[in-house]
Structure 1
Amino acid sequence: MSELHILVEESVQIAWDFLERSGEIIDGYETSQFLVSAVGRMALTGERRKLMLANRAIDVYRATRREAA
């Protein structure tokens, strides 16, 4: 597995764990797809800090949920 795949996987897991503990996950499949997509896009732009990727993905997830409500 490439370093980028590992980075995305670990960043998504951090974001998932946080969202799960805070009770913000409604649809697990949809949330996982969203997080993988969001983190993947950011990683492709050059961001390599796991916590930054996870935190930004959480922020985007929350903003998207607010817009949908």
Structure 2
Amino acid sequence: MSIRCTVESAFFIAWSFLEKSGELGPPDNSANILLDAIEAQLKTGERRPLMLGNRAIDTYRDQMAYNRLSAARTARLR
């Protein structure tokens, strides 16, 4: 499987799951987070689409939680 097909498969896995679960945020931001997570894993040698997709979901969830915490801290400081 080519790298392009691997990335497409992993992205589709992550995107579909997040969309079905109702966790998917703004499309551009969500796509960037997922693709960055997949790219980072590819650099470490990971090539399994399911593993790439699942870890991208974890990264996305972590990023969204961090964003919510940052927003709450900012709101408290005002």
Q: TM-score, normalised by structure 2?
A: 0.81
Matched ranges for 1:25-44 at <5 A:
25-44=24-43
Per-residue deviation at 1:35?
A: 0.8
Distance in 1, Cα, partners of 2:8 & 2:47: 12
List structure 1 segments (4+ residues) > 6 angstroms apart after TM superposition.
Answer: none
The aligned length equals 68
Distance in 1, Cα, partners of 2:44 & 2:18: 24
Show the counterpart of 1:66: 65
SS in 1 for 2:45: coil
Per-residue deviation at 1:59?
A: 0.5
Larger radius of gyration: 2
Preserved contact between residue 7 and residue 38 of structure 2 (Cα < 8 Å): yes
> Which digits, 9 at most, give the CA deviation of each residue in 1:3-61, with x for residues without a partner?
11110111011000000000011201110111111101101211011111101010011
Alignment gaps of 5+ in structure 2 = 69-78
RMSD value, Cα:
1.2
Identity %: 41
